Amino acid sequence: MAAAVEEFGERGYEGATIRSIAERAGVDSALVHHYFGTKADLFAEAAGMPLRPDVAVPAILAGPRDEVGARVVRFVLESFERDEVRRRGVMLLRAAVGGKLGAPVLVGFLSRELLSRIAAHLDVADGELRASLAASQIGGLLMTRYVLRLGVLADAPIDELVARIGPTVQRYLFE
C-alpha cells in the first residue's frame, strides 16, 4: 500500500499505473490486480476513501436522470462526513495548497472514475469536459467546506448543499 500512496503522490492519478506501483513494491502487477482490482479501486484503498466507482456509479444512476447531480453531491458529501474519508481527503487537499499533487489526484479521481463514468453511461456530448467542470465544482466545495472551513458553508446541512449545488452539477453534466 505504501508503494501505491507514493506513486499516486508523485505521479498523480493519471500518471500512476498498476505496473509502476507493482515495480515500486517489488511484486508482479498480477498480484496487485488480484488483491486490489482496478487502478480506481487501488486508489480508493490507498487514499483511505471507500469511494468505489463500481458501487457508487450504479447507485448514483439509479433513479431519474434529472436528479443525478444531486445524487453525486450527496454521495461525495456523505462520504466526506465519514472520519476516515475526511481525514485522507483533507490531507490530499491540503497537500495541493502546499504544492503537492493532492488535489489533482483527488479531483482527477472524481472526474475520471466517477463523473466521466456517469456521463458516459448517460451518453452526453463533451462528457470529459462536463465531468471536469462538475469535478471542479465538487473539488471547490470540498476545499471550502472541509479545509478552509469557510463560514456557514462548513456547517451547512448536507440537504441544503445538495439542493443548492446539485442543480449546478446537473447543469454541468447534462445541459
Q: For residue 99, what are the CA distances in angstroms to 8, 74, 102?
A: 14, 29, 8
Which CATH code fits 51-174? 1.10.357.10
Domain 1-46 sits in CATH at 1.10.10.60
Instruction: Please say whether the beta carbons of 67 and 107 come within 8 A.
Output: no
Domain boundaries, the chain: 1-46, 51-174
Residue 91 confidence (pLDDT): 67
Query: By the 8 A CB rule, do 16 and 29 touch?
Result: no
Is the Cβ–Cβ distance between 39 and 131 less than 8 Å? Answer: no
b/e code 3-23 from CB counts within 10 Å (16+ = b): bbbbbbbeebbeebebebbbe
pLDDT in tens, 115-146: 778 777 777 788 888 888 888 899 899 999 99
With bands split at pLDDT 50, 70 and 90, how would you rate the model's confidence at 153? very high
pLDDT for 127: 82
| Average pLDDT across the chain, whole number | 83
- How large is the average pLDDT for residues 103-123? 71
pTM of the model: 0.70
As to burial, measured by CB atoms within 10 angstroms (0-12 exposed, 13-18 middle, 19+ buried), residue 111 is buried
> What CA–CA distance (Å, rounded) separates 93 from 99?
10
